[in-house]
Chains A and B, each alone.
Chain A
Amino acid sequence: MSTITSTKPKSAGAGASRKAARAVKGANSADGKDGMSVKQNKTKQKMSAAAKREERTGWMFMLPFVLLFLLVFIFPIFYAIYSSFFQQVATGGGAYGGGELVNKFVGFENFKYVITSHDFWAGMGRVMLYTVIQVPLMIISALVLAMLLDSFIVKHVSGFRLGYFLPYAIPGVIAAIIWVYLYNGQISPIVKGLAAIGINVDFFASNMVLASMINITTWTFTGYNMLIFLSALQAIPHELYEAARIDGANGWQIATKIKLPNVRGAALLAMLLSIVGTIQLFNEPQVMQTADPGISRSYTPMMMAFNTSRGFLTPKGDGPSNAIAIVMAIIAGLLAMIYAFVERKVNEQ
């Protein structure tokens, strides 16, 4: 991280993440220069027929996306909020209830449960730790690999590029299954090989298990990020290098003075999206849980939400499960805002 922020931010590349950050705050990012509208509609007082037509056409093109977006994003959010005030309880008395569950309004009971739940905050803590280690590790590795591949030192860039990228084609849950076997002391040639030279590792030990998950995510996504950075690097005009060469710059100087500033934007955006991704950590712990009873059903908040809905945790059902999701979303939103704020501060300096 320090290598990125220490360079002088003279590039325009940071725009991507700044733009995303602006969007978080709900700011209007409709820039006037991107369309014919500027030319057509300078006077805003009265809507001309042309403007009305433009408005209609614009919305018609928006409509399919907006409808789907409402169904998939907006309704569920409102439903989640509504449902988080209910719990399913048995009716009809008796030790087993009357054989039916009803929704009972419980006020803020579910939220009280989440906020006071030790398991929830323990899971949140794990995810935070995971994010703080995994995201920089992955971004820096990806950056280093991209820079090395772009350093004119190796031929056959495409072979390396493809090899690094290949894990991304493997779905996260399948990647997790493969690694779970590679962590297994009876099966894995890695564990056996390390044991043979005197290093005994237990990838499922409670102080190792988070690192084991970090490795799975890093393995899957580093190549993808590397490819983004490499593309950004290769978009740098060749003339810049020629000029630097004439000025007598060496490889290191070119890397830090020309290359890094140019991938800064891509790196910051990748970082933001990765943070959002790791908050919802689910696949890796869920798969590892099938192999290791030591991983609890509430190992991460997302797992807790899922297993609450599945009835492995109590209170169970949609209400408490949605309350967990809502508290998580609020925390994720706060984190993204903090990130955007810090990034802007750094940029202003």
Chain B
Amino acid sequence: MSFAHTTHENSASARAQKKADRRRERSENDLPRSMKPRPVTKTITIIILVFALIYFLFPIYWAIIASTKTPAQLTSSNGLWFAVPFNKLGDAIAANYSVLLGWTRGNFWRWVGNSFLYSTVSAVIGTIVSVMAGYATAKFRFRGKGITIGIIMGAMLMPAALLTIPQYAIFNALHLDNSMLAVIIPCCVSPFGFFLGRVYAQSSVPNELLEAARIDGASESRIFFTIVLRLLAPAMVTIFLFMFVATWNNFLLPLMMLSSENLYPVTLGLYGMVSLAVFNDRGALMMGALLGVLPVIILFLTLQRFWRAGLAAGSVKG
């Protein structure tokens, strides 16, 4: 495998992918007769794809419907449709919303905010340190490099949840448990982020450019912050997204670390409701679940291009 690639690899691959999409959508008509799928193949393919789409979207659709229902309506009404006519839907939503805020004692948006804070901060720190380390191992020779890479890559295969219990003990000893740092620090470190940072640095930072900058008398840190980071910007978005989602989705870590309600991320807050035996406002909970994932979905939609380009780079190049 060659790592000699053009400098703007990632944005280029993102563009190429867009082009490929367009071509794909057009290409059906261009295909020669021999390659045109037979109608039966085509029908089966479309049936499978649509069936899969229903499978993936149905629970979300159901959650939306359920979020408008009272506990009694959940069990008695048609599960596939709203229990009240459209003109009363607003009231039903408002009622469940206030039930949600009641159960969470007004903490709901605070939890969403906490999730956002934990995810953003740990992803920002995590991306920078991953890229720095990836760049170091890709472009510098130093003693202990091999073993360090080996250990970090080995950690990638370590079931991370197993570390949560001793992490809790250590943070407890440092009196850092039940604090924001208890969630943020462990989430800052991602061997997979390091792996991606290294792959990207290998492929998208040309040695010639570094040499030229050094000859011009630029310092190493200047080279990194002005040249390398710019070259790696698309890669950093990918790592950022990856770590953001990983932190947002993390459940065991906050479950172990946090005991103050005002520090909960939204996953833990909603789980806290479910874990109470007497809890039965499941419709309101569904509303919380939907509102709680909205920020991630928006992030996906707006940054989809980078996300996909990054996945491609990470999977193909290795």
Asked whether the complex places CB atoms of A and B closer than 8 A, the reply is yes
Chain B stretch 268-290: residues in CB contact (< 8 A) with chain A: 270-271, 274-275, 282, 285-286, 289
A290 touches B275 (CB 8 A): yes
- Whole-angstrom CA separation of A322 from B145 in the bound complex: 30
Asked whether, in the complex, the Cβ of B62 is within 8 Å of the Cβ of A163, the reply is no
* Contact B79 A62, beta carbon cutoff 8 Å: no
Given A155-B25, A167-B60 in contact, is the A231-B251 Cβ separation under 8 Å?
A: no
A148 touches B318 (CB 8 A): no
Instruction: Check A73–B158 contact: CB distance below 8 A.
Output: yes
Contact residues in B for A175 (Cβ distance below 8 Å): 59
Smallest CB–CB gap between B59 and chain A, Å?
A: 5
Measured between beta carbons, the chain A residues less than 8 angstroms from B46 are 153-154
- Given the known A-B contacts A13-B316, A68-B129, are A24 and B157 also in contact in the complex, defined by CB atoms under 8 Å? yes
Chain A residue nearest to B276 (CB atoms) is: A290
- Minimal beta-carbon separation of B35 from chain A (angstroms): 6
Name the A residues within 8 Å of B300 (CB-CB).
Answer: 165-166, 169
Chain B nearest CB: distance from A315 CB in Å?
A: 14
Query: DSSP majority for the B interface?
Result: helix
**Which residues in A have their C-beta under 8 angstroms from that of B75?**
186-187
Distance in angstroms between the alpha carbons of A261 and B150 in the assembled complex = 27
Alpha-carbon distance between A149 and B78 when the two chains are bound, in angstroms: 34
Interface residues of B in 17-76 (CB under 8 A from A): 17, 20-21, 23-25, 27-28, 31-32, 34-35, 37, 41-42, 45-46, 48-49, 52-53, 55-57, 59-60, 62-63, 66, 74-75
Check B143–A156 contact: CB distance below 8 A.
no
A336 contacts which chain B residues (CB < 8 A)? 157
Given the known interface contacts A34-B202, A36-B139, A248-B34, the answer about A80 and B157 at a Cβ–Cβ threshold of 8 Å is: no
From A71, A77, A177, A282, contact of B270 by CB (8 A) = A177
| Residues from 292 to 348 in A contacting B, C-beta threshold 8 Å | 302, 305-306, 309, 318, 321-322, 325-326, 328-329, 332-333, 336
Q: Is the CB of A58 within 8 A of B56?
A: no
- CB-CB contacts of A159-176 with B at 8 A, as 1s and 0s? 010111111111111110
Distance from B38 Cβ to chain A, minimum over Cβ atoms (Å): 9
Inter-chain CA distance A159–B140, complex, in Å, is: 43
- Per CB-CB distance, the 5 closest pairs between chain A and chain B, nearest first, are A16-B318, A189-B79, A23-B153, A231-B312, A58-B140
Inter-chain CA distance A46–B286, complex, in Å, is 66
Which one of B128, B149, B220 lies within 8 Å of A30 (CB-CB)?
B149
Does B161 interact with chain A (Cβ within 8 Å)? yes
B94 within 8 A of A: no
Q: Does B93 contact A (CB under 8 A)?
A: no
Q: Which of A181-197 contact B (CB under 8 A)?
A: 181-182, 186-189, 192
- Size bin of chain A's contact surface: 35 or more
> In the complex, are the beta carbons of B62 and A152 less than 8 A apart?
no
Q: Of the candidates A58, A277, A305, which one forms a contact with B162 in the assembled complex, judged by CB atoms under 8 Å apart? A: A305
Contact with A along B171-194 (1 / 0, CB 8 A): 000000000000001101101001
Asked if A251 and B37 sit within 8 Å, CB to CB, the answer is yes
Instruction: Give the interface residue-count category, chain B.
Output: 35 or more
Interface of A is mostly: helix
Tally A-B pairs: CB < 8 A.
364
Q: A283 to chain B: which residues have CB within 8 Å?
A: 251-252
Q: Give the residues from 134 to 162 in chain A that come closer than 8 angstroms, CB to CB, to chain B.
A: 141, 144-145, 148-158, 160, 162
**A277–B271 Cα gap in the complex (Å)?**
21
CB neighbours (8 Å) of A228 from chain B are 311-312, 314-315
Residues of A close to B137: CB separation below 8 A: 30, 58, 62
A28 close to B270 (CB less than 8 A) = no
Report whether B17 and A318 are in contact in the complex, using a CB–CB cutoff of 8 Å: no
Please measure, in the bound complex, the distance between the C-alpha atom of A153 and the C-alpha atom of B53, giving whole angstroms.
16
A280 touches B318 (CB 8 A): no
Known A174-B289, A219-B59, A231-B308; judge A73-B189 contact (CB<8 A). yes
Chain B positions within 8 Å of A205 at CB level: none
The segment from A1-9, A49-57, A108-116, A118-126 that touches chain B is A49-57
Query: CA–CA, A282 to B25, complex, Å?
Result: 41
- 18 extra interface residue pairs, beta carbon distance < 8 Å, beyond A165-B300, A186-B74: A33-B3, A64-B128, A69-B152, A71-B189, A72-B189, A76-B170, A79-B166, A144-B48, A153-B28, A163-B56, A169-B297, A189-B62, A219-B55, A231-B17, A234-B20, A282-B251, A325-B162, A332-B162
